[in-house]
Amino acid sequence: MSKCEQCIIRQFNSLKALTKDELLRISACKTSRIIKKGEVIFEEGESLNGLFCIKDGVCKLTKLSANGKDQIIKLVEKGQILGQRSLISDERTNLRATALNDMELCFIPKAEIIDDLKKNNNFTMDMLKEMADDLREADDFIVNMAQKSVRQRLAEALLNINENFGTNPDGTLSVLLSREDFASIVGTATESAIRVLSQFKKEGLISALGKHIKIEDLEGLKRVE
């Protein structure tokens, strides 16, 4: 199995703060997992017993609401870590993680990470910083949800996906989402999401061939009211 020390992925998350020795220990106890598109990585309410480091692929973090609909809280991609919150709070997960495409994950057992958190303050501080960033993002998300129309929220969702996950060579968004997923990001009915996307298409803001969506007028999308 490959060594964490040589893994480029590590540079993009808190694990970069670990020392060589710590990385060697983690390499020795980590396990690797392949997850197929659509598969659930962990369920809401599950005990994780460790962290996942995403080596490849993208997944969605969702929470089931009382009315039975899933809400997408966040999309997480290659280089990022899953399960920090439950690890730190020592609680079951509050979200479900589902693969949006085929994924490769490394699993690091809880005991090792906790040990590092206690001994390596740089690591703890780095994780604290990441969590502080997540919290700011969550604040922004709350305001968007509370104060903007479905049309505005969907425009923002497209812009965010474009900004954070980039595009394929043909200009289409690299993350493929169903209309239901879009609805689940902006918190609306699937039909409403479909209607707004169709409208964006008519207005020339985007083009769409099935799930392959391309932003045609970035500035126009930003101006959506």
Partner DNA sequence: ATTAAAATATGATAATTGTCATGTTTTAAT
Partner DNA sequence: ATTAAAACATGACAATTATCATATTTTAAT
Binding site for a second copy (CB under 8 A): 63, 65-67, 69, 71, 73, 84-85, 88-89, 91, 94-95, 117-119, 121, 124-125, 127-129, 131-136, 138-148, 186-187
| 172 near DNA, judged by CB under 7 A | no
Longest Cα separation, the chain: 57
210 binds, among a second copy, DNA, none (CB under 5 to 8 A by kind): DNA
DSSP for 135-194, written as a single string: HHHHHHHHHHHHHS-HHHHHHHHHHHHHHHH-B-TTSBBSS---HHHHHHHHTS-HHHHH
| 174 near DNA, judged by CB under 7 A | no
Are the CB atoms for 53 and 87 separated by under 8 Å? no
Evaluate the CA torsion angle 177, 108, 131, 79 in order and state its sign: negative
Stretch that binds DNA, among 16-24, 119-127, 165-173, 181-189 (CB under 7 A): 181-189
Could you tell me the smallest distance in angstroms from the CB atom of residue 65 to a second copy? 4
Nearest to 157 by CA among 119, 121, 187, 115: 187
Q: Which token pair is 43? A: 């369920």
Query: Which run of H or E residues covers position 212?
Result: strand 212-215
| 179 near DNA, judged by CB under 7 A | yes
Residue 183 CA to residue 13 CA, distance in Å, equals 29
| 195 near DNA, judged by CB under 7 A | yes
| 65 near DNA, judged by CB under 7 A | no
92 binds, among a second copy, DNA, none (CB under 5 to 8 A by kind): none
Could you tell me the smallest distance in angstroms from the CB atom of residue 164 to DNA? 20
Contact residues toward DNA (CB under 7 A) are 149-151, 178-180, 187-192, 194-195, 197-198, 208, 210-211
